[in-house]
Amino acid sequence: MIGPTNMPTVPARRARRPRHDAPMNKHELAYRMLRERIESGVYQPGQRLVIDALARDLNMSQVPIREAIRRLQAEGWVTYRHNSGPEIANIGLDQWQATSEVLAVLEGYATALAAPHLRREDFRQLRKHTAAMQKAMEQFDLLQLSDSNRAFHSAIYARCPNPVLVERMSETQAQLDAMRATLFPSVPQRGADSIREHLELVNLLESHASFEDIERQAREHKLNFLLAAVQQFQQWARTRQSRRDISAA
């Protein structure tokens, strides 16, 4: 159990606002451009990253490209293959599942940290987002359902007093989104069960439940999604295999 008694926190500092007027150095620019291309699917899993070609494409020297690739490797976006060099990491279900479990722990803790800072207007927004999810489910609008779900949790994390934790969650979610695009034919959904869990979480937050109860509810909510997603993936895999068997017969 992750709670305030066994995971001490340091006093949160106010998050620094980025200075948009400050010029971005070439290392950061190369990193952002490469990562955006990975997340958007421009670069596919297994695709080689030829540093000389990237330097010409991005109109910069090879030095910032190499530094960006090292950073992407440390974050799990890029792997190095012997005699081949850097390439976009091939994502498997095990890695996606492991990363999702990490995010479940982060989100549970962040939700519990944010709880004392939520305001009356936040609770109205949370119920509004949950109602939007319900409507989207009834209309089979999966895109709106996903957007409302993200908005629900973002409203909570906006009150989390630990900006480093929120940033880590954002980075991990971006990795999961990029992984999911290579694994799932559509976004896994849980429908009514997910909406019920959202409402239960709102009730806990509004009633000022204990840190442990809020953390557990938020964490298990994410893990329940993970379990459903894995089951759907396995079902899709069995369906694909059945079609191959029929074609080969």
Most confident of 13-17, 44-48, 85-89, 110-114: 110-114
The dihedral region occupied by 81, where left means phi > 0, alpha psi between -120 and 50, and beta the remainder, is: beta
- Written out in words, the top-level CATH class of the domain with range 27-88 is mainly alpha
What is the per-residue pLDDT across 181-234, written as a single tens digit (0 to 9) for each?
Answer: 666 655 556 778 999 999 999 999 999 999 999 999 999 999 998 888 888 777
d(C-alpha 220, C-alpha 236), whole Å = 24
Helix (H) or strand (E) holding 186: none
Q: What is the pLDDT of residue 64?
A: 94
Do 76 and 87 contact (CB within 8 A), yes or no?
no
For the chain, residues classed under CATH 1.10.10.10 are 27-88
Name the segment(s) of the chain with CATH classification 1.20.120.530: 93-248
- In the three-class reduction of DSSP (H, G, I as helix; E, B as strand; rest coil), residue 144 is classed as helix
Architecture of domain 93-248: Up-down Bundle (1.20)
What's the distance, Cα to Cα, between the start and end of the chain in Å? 51
Q: How far apart are CA 126 and CA 218, in angstroms?
A: 14
